Structure 1
Amino acid sequence: MMRERAFGLVFMIFFFAGCQEDVVRSLDGIQVPDGFTIERAVISPDLHAYPMFATFDDDGNLYVCESTLSNTMETDAMLANPSYQIRLLKDTDGDDVFDRSTVFADSLPFPMGGVFYHGSFYSAVSPDLIKFTDHDGDGVAEEQEVILSGWTLNSNGAILSGPFLGPDGYFYLADARRGFDILDKEGQRHLGKGARIWRCRPDGSELEWLSGGGFDNSIEIIFTEEGETIGTMTYFKDPKDGERDALMHWIEGGVYPKPNPTITEDRLPRTGPLMPVMTKMPRVAPAGLMQYQGEGWGSDYIRNLFTAEFNTGRIMRYQLQRQGSSFSTEGEAFVQAMVPDIHPTDVLQAADGSLLVVITGGWFIKGCPLSRVAKPEVSGGIYRVRKVGTKAITDPWGTEIFFEKSSLDELARYLTDARFRVRKKASIELIERGQGTVEVIIKTLRDAQDPTLRCELVFALAQIEDPVGLQVIREQLRDDDHRVRISAARCLGLKRDVGSRLALEGLLMDEHPAARRQAATALGQISSEESIASLLSALEHPQDRFVEHAIIYALIQIQVPAPLLAALSSAIPEVRKGALISLDQMEDGTLKEDQLMPFLMSADSSDLQVAAWIAIGHPDWSKSVGAFLRKRLKGKRSDQEQQTLLQVIDAFSDDQDIQEIITDQLLASSTSYEEKRFLLQILRTTSLDKFPSPWITVLGAFLDDENEELKNTALEVIETRGIDMSNRLTAIIEDEFAAPNLRIKALGAHLRHANALKETEFDLLLDYLRPDYKMYVRQSAIQLLSRSELMENQCLEIAQKFLPRTDAFLVPGLLDVLAQVKS
């Protein structure tokens, strides 16, 4: 009996082991996590070139933007002889492996992704947005129509990308800081230098910018269920402290880092500081981005973000959480490269829940600091990642459903289907049929328990011009779920629906900050003067930067100054601040210099901060700034006020009157020691290219000052600014009674203009190496020796007399000094 049980157990183990699918966690140097498997998504590498970005059509066919060779050509050559292409891949036998390939469109200058919409493929191919259409179904586009033009091509790939279809039916495009000159469908010219997130109708009409700023390049965009816009971006700052790139939450009218003159040159309206970054990253070069839809991988993955990182070879997974009216993320590596030269550029979700990962290969060298040598033998590929044990979905793309012939009742059922691609197709069909479908959508909306589904139906209703549907969208401003309320507010704002004004004003007091933010955005788009009072009231408790921005931006858009001028005397600081910024940033520059003066002189620190920020944007207001400085440079100040003063003085440091104020304060006997040190630090850090001669005179006076700290600070300024005061510095260097730190500071400043040391100066530094001097003096002496051009005999003297007997802590510095020896 025991033998039979043992045999049966062994049989079952082998039986179930044989039934399990093969689990391949590593393929071609790419590794996926435990519980997942990876496979090639294309039957042969001969079916593609160097894939960059990919997009599914409605039936699961894949459009792939490709390079055909290393991008060694310059931009002009790329325009003259374009070599990029868009490929169409098909799976003809339903085994989830693409086995048929055609070049859909060729001889293109750098296509950067796209979207399949109503039977055509749209792609950003700088300088154009192009619509490609295959009329006869042979997989080749016979027609190319330029929808819009005027963006700038650059061979390094930091260019326009997209478009991306929003749930609102608009196309969104991500642009780089390359400049643009676009004549839109309505005859309006869009001219600028900075980066933008663009929005337009699929036919190119209603072009406008959603967000902008000084960042270098925005790449891909996704949309949450409520229509929030999230994207990948490089260079929100120059590389520093392990940060450079980012995930961004793009909002209406937002101006984002990094600080760049193009922000001012393009006259982008500001609502305060540059908008915050959602997720800060190192120099990883994020590219493709997607949000997981459906429950195919379980609840832990719903709404997760996945992004491709070119530099690291990773696909990152981010859990997205609400934080105020924006988001935060928690990230981890999902797919990782185990060998060099693996550069992911895109990641996208198939209808069955699996992910496609696009690896671009070794062709790209123009824009990547990590790929300086072309490796055309590395062709890249397209891979599919599955979760082990996931239940198969029947007809995930809905290709067996004839949507065009379906009844309204059938389409209503498909609207609630578990297959997200089927729901999307049903929604598209109902929108195309128009007004006659509104009742079906409304009934499904009112019966829907799932907030995600309700969001989808609100966006569908908004794309059908129907008064009944519009009224139902207004009703959704009272939905129990904040995501639905946000979706409704978004749609009503885009429609400029005056009839929803009162309900949107009520939503300004909503319990959820994101709903309040979207209500303010919609009121700005509607631009009714009657909303100003409600917006000012909402400013009393903005809660976060995104809500504050939306309210102030709405006031700027409404362009009615009178109520805001009255609000300048409000007892509430947040209201005064919002009114002041709005008046300043209106198109006509409504704020006057004399209206800013009371805020510059205010004892309220919040008033001072915003007034100083506004003053910096008006270089012609130096008279008011001078009066402000004469008052503020006296007496005690908080750290925040100190920082504000530094920013203002730096911004106006090229103004002669401001320079005289600083000079007078430094020379005045009544100016305290602490104040003089503060002003000397301003001289050291100012961004002026040419140092004013009166300030040089002041520095000379401080070299005679009895206060050693002030003299030391003056020497720091002289060295930092590279001011040539050789005679004065030599006098200090040669003064045997001067403190060692002063003599070393003077010598350091002197070496800015004379690399070689005199023999006496060399002997002085050697003397300071002796152990009876303080450690900082000895370290400073070594630093100056390493900056000097030493003779071989001088290096030999250091090696023989000091290196064998010096403290271990100083040895590395001395070795750096001796590294100058060439023999």
Structure 2
Amino acid sequence: MNKSQAPSSNTQAPMARSRSPRGIGGWSLVFLWSLGFGFWSFTQAAQTNLNGRTFTLPDGFTVELAASAPLVNRPISIAFDERGRLYATDSSGSSEKGPTQYERKDHRIVRLEDTTGSGVFDKSVVFADKLMFPEGAMFYEGSLYVAAPPQIWKLSDTDGDGVADQREVWHDGKTLTGCANDLHGPYLGPDGWFYWCKGAFAEQRYTLANGKPFVTRASHIFRARPDGTGIEPVLTGGMDNPVGVAFHSTGERFLSCTFVQPGGGKRDGLLHAVYGGVYGKEQSALDGHPRTGELMPVMTHMGAAAPCGLTTYRSHVFGVDWADNLLACYFNLHKVVRHELIPDGATFKTKDTDLLASTDVDYHPTDVLEDADGSILIVDTGGWYKICCPTSQLAKPDVLGAIYRVRKIGHPKREDPRGLKLNWPALKPADLAKFLSDDRLYVRQHAIHELGKRGDPAVPVLRESVLKGSAIDTRRDAVWALSRISGPAAREAVRTALNDTDSSVRHAALHVVSVWRDTNAVGRVQSAVESPSPALARVAAEALGRIYATNAVAALLTAADRSRANAATMSEAQRVLWHSLTYAVIELAAAEAVGAQLTARGPTAATLIALAHSGAAGLKSETVIPLLHSRDPVVKQTALWIASQRPEWGKRLAATFYGDLSQEALPKPEPAAMAALLAAFAKSLEVQETLASLVVEANIPRDSRLIALRAMAAAGLKETPAAWLGGVTRLLTGEEGEVLREAVATARTFTLPKQGHGEFLKALQEVGKLEVAPPEVRLDALVAAGGLASVSAPLFTFLRANLETARPMLTRSAASKVLAKAKLTDAQRLALADTMKSISPLDAPKLLPVFDKSPSEELGLKLVASLKDSTGLRGLRVDLLKPLLTKYPKSVQDAGAELLTVLNADAAKQRAHLEELAPTLRDGDVRRGHQLFSSQKAACSMCHTIGYLGGKLGPDLTRIGQVRTEMDLLESIVYPSASFVRSYEPFTVVVKGGEDVTGIVRKDAPDEVVLANGPETEVRIARADVVEMRPGKVSLMPDGLEQALTRQELADLLAFLKASK
């Protein structure tokens, strides 16, 4: 900063995202989404054209251009310093993967100034250059803090020339993954702590304040003091990309993130980030983290929205009902949304209204920030970004971004909104305290910061403000100032706020007690657990756990039991309160006290879960296993969940399972839940033997036999036990109907040992020859049997018939797999070459391995001739066909050269084809498209979900029409390998001594890798057998769907996907 231009102050107050209070208002029209996505509020809206784009915003508001090129080109995140200069991280336009960007470091930060006071920035200087991809900005105490994975940097201008001459690493996460989503932030909490997000799933290691090591692959919100000490996790999650953190005036946290709960259109959104909570998605990175049961609920679902920047509106400039509203940027939805927070027990619901939206696909909001005058700055990063982003695969670095300002029409201009005319260093604590009642937001924030810096001398006046302040805001802000002061006097002053008449002041005080672990507050905090306010009871419970109030175990457990009200299932509000009460008991680690409560009150869900986290001295199998038959649905559900986490209980559970399932008269649990529980214990030798017995013993009820088979299929063992092979072999040779079908389906999931499976494979082959069996069962059996040593004439006829395009896609696919691996005669290969004339584009690539063997001139010429007139040619690629043709004589290669020329279409030709195709697909019918989506012809629903129905191999498409343009959707159908949705990228694993395996990574753990390579199939590979793991270039979705459908069908399918919002 240029010190000569500074006001009389030379101090640097933080300009970060903390909140103010106030009530929640409402719009008049409210729509409740039928699938439970929350309240969506519709208001009258105005349209305006600006900067070449059409924007929609609520009536009574206006939008203007605040900054654009050449001052800033592709802004990402923004932050103000205390003088009102705006720091904008500015992308170079590079969309390379993280490691490449780390080597190049070609991004920058610019400092923008509005020298005229008009609200339009007119001056720019490069504050810092040669930076890694920046993913956050926060100004604090004269320095700009920026997350640039793998570090958070502290950038300072010490000589006032506008350029950062001092660069320090404030935090080093030490991990950088391909998508570079390892870090976002930091964000300043109202408590004075720095918060930031860890994403991706690379392992990070820390030493916590208590000296204990913390090793994690999961996603987190972390926090630490401004000096970097006291680091601790606040939230844990299985989501890929946690991004923005914002705070309620009471200190409650909110997180914008992607992939919080895949499925049903509920993929991205906002979380109420409750301390100790474990959030979705469910995956192995969560293993080992303490949790209070199933994943915590998501506050607001937005579909595949790609949430980015998040802030809390703090002033009253837009109206009293705007205070404490969340403002969130949605990259994929091309809009910023206002989320009104509506208290719901211990958590919140939201009422959602568009603030600034555009139909322009290159408008991508990435950050939002309230200015000192109450207007809102919105960052549009432009069209450059495509890193791991399926909606932006066409990078457009030439489409530059901008910063927009949204104002309320008619709001008068405020004099000195930042307090720049004040001589802050000269103000005494008593003078500073007066500004806690100022109606200028940034002045109040500056006063809080200055009072915190003054330390103990400021405590008496702050204590007086807490006790005698007439305004609720003043008393609460005094608490936040005290949070930034260490020492017993500040802690005692905060404790006085625990008796405040206003619940929001008490809430803030409980938060401060929690972060400081103030043990002297235990008595008053414990009484707050009994508060009729669920929100206060929740934060009080959080505090009790953190201050190790072991004498509070009984009170916490009583409150937890009361919060569930003996309900088998909890509402989201109940779940949040119950979590905090139970998690507090877990943190207390008081196994003896919890055990005494178990004896005194009997088993309850909270008591059981708390003991389950107490280590060896905690919960015993003899306590839990009998509860699997409890008549209390809550206790039974809890016992099932705890048992599923304890594979070492397998021996005792095996006897219980056998007793439950071997007798027809005994009541049985829900079959799917029982199969899942058995699968969870399948590593236990005793449970393996029990499952084998349930499969083969003659007196076992049919339904129990089916449960056992499904448990085997879901077990996912690295090597299938011999007893299972023997049991399933017996079923394959002696059963029919549903049991035979289930036995074959189970057989397909087995990972065979190197020896001792001959009879098993023979039995599968015999099922494949069984003409009375359904065709799909025969084909599944043959696929499971692997390569056939020979194919009889009747069987070859059967397989060839099932390649006909009229057959279901999965049927054709299975027949192709069997033939591709079978040892065929020359005559059979020639017959299949003839079949290639009418082969589906989806199946042509699967049959190519047939022609890899015995490459004679006759076979090659027949294959080339068939493909020249075949629609199946569109399903092939040069990289598949060219290596095959090189194995044939030169005459075949010459004949096939024309085929390679046809296939060798580059990206420009693909784009041209799409642009030519799109206008012919205007008259699609949504209802017909829905039928086609679910039909065997397109078979989309085998891999994709719409709503609650469909497969899980590919991305959920419930809201795909909301986030993908028509051209995006068409490209994904015609050229599925052009882009990949994050977490659905194909990977190729090179296996030691075996074939390469390609699929979508379902598990990447220290002991094994699991790849999904089909709608219902997975491949498990021991980590020791993995030679290399590399990103794949070819989608599991086959090419050629365009050729398999008529133009009308393609138009109908496109219309249906566009309507899926």
Distance 2:210 2:325 in 1: 39
Corresponding residue of 1:441: 462
Q: 2:535 pairs with 514, 525, 531, which one? A: 514
Distance 1:81 1:798 in 2: 47
Does the aligned pair in 2 maintain the 1:765–1:781 contact within 8 Å?
Answer: no
Q: Residues 53 and 586 from structure 1, CA distance in 2 versus in 1: closer, same or farther, beyond 3 angstroms?
A: farther
Aligned pair 1:628/2:656, yes or no? yes
Aligned pair 1:118/2:141, yes or no? yes
Query: 1:219 deviation in Å?
Result: 0.9
Corresponding residue of 2:477: 456
Aligned pair 1:146/2:146, yes or no? no
TM alignment of 1:244-643, pairs within 5 A: 244-264=267-287, 267-408=288-429, 410-448=431-469, 450-465=471-486, 467=488, 469-543=490-564, 544-571=574-601, 573-574=603-604, 577-586=605-614, 590-600=618-628, 602=630, 604-634=632-662, 641-643=670-672
Does the aligned pair in 1 maintain the 2:627–2:635 contact within 8 Å?
Answer: yes
Q: 1:207 pairs with 219, 222, 231, which one? A: 231
Corresponding residue of 2:84: 60
Describe the superposition over 1:490-546 as per-residue Cα deviations: whole angstroms up to 9, x where unpaired. Answer: 111222222211111111111111111111111111103222222222222134222
Query: 1:386 deviation in Å?
Result: 1.5
Does the aligned pair in 2 maintain the 1:490–1:518 contact within 8 Å?
Answer: yes
Does the aligned pair in 2 maintain the 1:185–1:204 contact within 8 Å?
Answer: no
Distance 1:489 1:427 in 2: 18
Aligned pair 1:133/2:133, yes or no? no
Q: Residues 812 and 240 from structure 1, CA distance in 2 versus in 1: closer, same or farther, beyond 3 angstroms?
A: closer
Corresponding residue of 1:698: 727
Describe the superposition over 1:59-112 as per-residue Cα deviations: whole angstroms up to 9, x where unpaired. Answer: 32111122224132651x444442222221111221111122122222222232
Moved more, 342-351 or 687-696: 687-696
Distance 2:834 2:353 in 1: 56
Distance 1:268 1:438 in 2: 39
Aligned pair 1:82/2:105, yes or no? yes
Corresponding residue of 2:782: 750
Secondary structure at 1:273 match in 2: coil
Corresponding residue of 2:182: 159
Distance 2:619 2:602 in 1: 19
Query: 1:663 deviation in Å?
Result: 1.4
Distance 2:139 2:596 in 1: 51
Secondary structure at 1:653 match in 2: coil
Moved more, 181-190 or 534-543: 181-190
Q: Residues 432 and 646 from structure 1, CA distance in 2 versus in 1: closer, same or farther, beyond 3 angstroms?
A: same
Distance 2:454 2:701 in 1: 78
Distance 2:937 2:49 in 1: 51
Q: 1:31 pairs with 37, 42, 55, which one? A: 55
Distance 1:588 1:145 in 2: 44
Does the aligned pair in 2 maintain the 1:51–1:381 contact within 8 Å?
Answer: yes
Query: 1:287 deviation in Å?
Result: 0.8
Aligned pair 1:683/2:712, yes or no? yes
Secondary structure at 1:46 match in 2: coil
Query: 1:601 deviation in Å?
Result: 6.1
Corresponding residue of 1:652: 681
Distance 2:935 2:834 in 1: 20
Distance 1:466 1:619 in 2: 47
Does the aligned pair in 1 maintain the 2:107–2:133 contact within 8 Å?
Answer: yes
Moved more, 759-768 or 429-438: 759-768
% identical equivalent positions? 32
Describe the superposition over 1:531-567 as per-residue Cα deviations: whole angstroms up to 9, x where unpaired. Answer: 2222222222134222222222222222222111222
Secondary structure at 2:455 match in 1: helix
* One-letter amino acid matched to 1:742: P
Query: 1:377 deviation in Å?
Result: 1.0
* One-letter amino acid matched to 1:539: A
- How many residue pairs were aligned? 774
Aligned pair 1:181/2:211, yes or no? no
Query: 1:581 deviation in Å?
Result: 2.1
Q: Residues 548 and 184 from structure 1, CA distance in 2 versus in 1: closer, same or farther, beyond 3 angstroms?
A: closer
Describe the superposition over 1:361-412 as per-residue Cα deviations: whole angstroms up to 9, x where unpaired. Answer: 2332323222224322122111111122223222222222222233555433
Secondary structure at 2:601 match in 1: coil
Does the aligned pair in 2 maintain the 1:652–1:658 contact within 8 Å?
Answer: yes
Does the aligned pair in 2 maintain the 1:729–1:747 contact within 8 Å?
Answer: no
Distance 2:515 2:207 in 1: 22
Q: 2:123 pairs with 91, 100, 104, which one? A: 100
Does the aligned pair in 2 maintain the 1:732–1:743 contact within 8 Å?
Answer: no
Distance 1:60 1:638 in 2: 70
Q: Residues 726 and 624 from structure 1, CA distance in 2 versus in 1: closer, same or farther, beyond 3 angstroms?
A: closer
Does the aligned pair in 1 maintain the 2:809–2:938 contact within 8 Å?
Answer: no
Q: Residues 705 and 234 from structure 1, CA distance in 2 versus in 1: closer, same or farther, beyond 3 angstroms?
A: same
Does the aligned pair in 1 maintain the 2:802–2:811 contact within 8 Å?
Answer: no
Greater RCO, 1 or 2 (C-alpha within 8 Å, sep 6+): 2
Distance 2:728 2:225 in 1: 61
Q: Residues 629 and 603 from structure 1, CA distance in 2 versus in 1: closer, same or farther, beyond 3 angstroms?
A: farther
Q: Residues 495 and 786 from structure 1, CA distance in 2 versus in 1: closer, same or farther, beyond 3 angstroms?
A: closer
Q: Residues 721 and 48 from structure 1, CA distance in 2 versus in 1: closer, same or farther, beyond 3 angstroms?
A: same
Q: 2:66 pairs with 19, 33, 41, which one? A: 41
* One-letter amino acid matched to 2:444: R
Q: Residues 580 and 786 from structure 1, CA distance in 2 versus in 1: closer, same or farther, beyond 3 angstroms?
A: closer
Secondary structure at 2:301 match in 1: strand
Aligned pair 1:91/2:114, yes or no? yes
Does the aligned pair in 2 maintain the 1:600–1:628 contact within 8 Å?
Answer: no
Distance 2:366 2:668 in 1: 45
Does the aligned pair in 2 maintain the 1:64–1:113 contact within 8 Å?
Answer: no
Aligned pair 1:784/2:816, yes or no? no
Does the aligned pair in 2 maintain the 1:493–1:521 contact within 8 Å?
Answer: yes
Query: 1:642 deviation in Å?
Result: 3.8
Describe the superposition over 1:111-135 as per-residue Cα deviations: whole angstroms up to 9, x where unpaired. Answer: 3213211222222233333322222
Query: 1:207 deviation in Å?
Result: 1.1
Does the aligned pair in 2 maintain the 1:744–1:780 contact within 8 Å?
Answer: no
Does the aligned pair in 2 maintain the 1:732–1:742 contact within 8 Å?
Answer: no
Distance 2:666 2:502 in 1: 47
* One-letter amino acid matched to 2:519: V
Distance 1:782 1:206 in 2: 57
Secondary structure at 1:530 match in 2: helix
Moved more, 647-656 or 601-610: 601-610
Q: Residues 689 and 768 from structure 1, CA distance in 2 versus in 1: closer, same or farther, beyond 3 angstroms?
A: same
Normalized against structure 2, the TM-score is what? 0.67
Which segments of 5 or more consecutive residues in structure 2 lack a partner in the other structure? 1-45, 565-573, 753-757, 817-830, 841-930, 940-1039, 1046-1061
Does the aligned pair in 1 maintain the 2:661–2:668 contact within 8 Å?
Answer: no
Distance 1:743 1:32 in 2: 56
Q: 2:694 pairs with 656, 660, 665, which one? A: 665
Aligned pair 1:717/2:746, yes or no? yes
Aligned pair 1:72/2:96, yes or no? yes
Q: 1:192 pairs with 193, 211, 216, which one? A: 216
* One-letter amino acid matched to 2:590: V
Distance 1:40 1:397 in 2: 22
Distance 1:25 1:445 in 2: 49
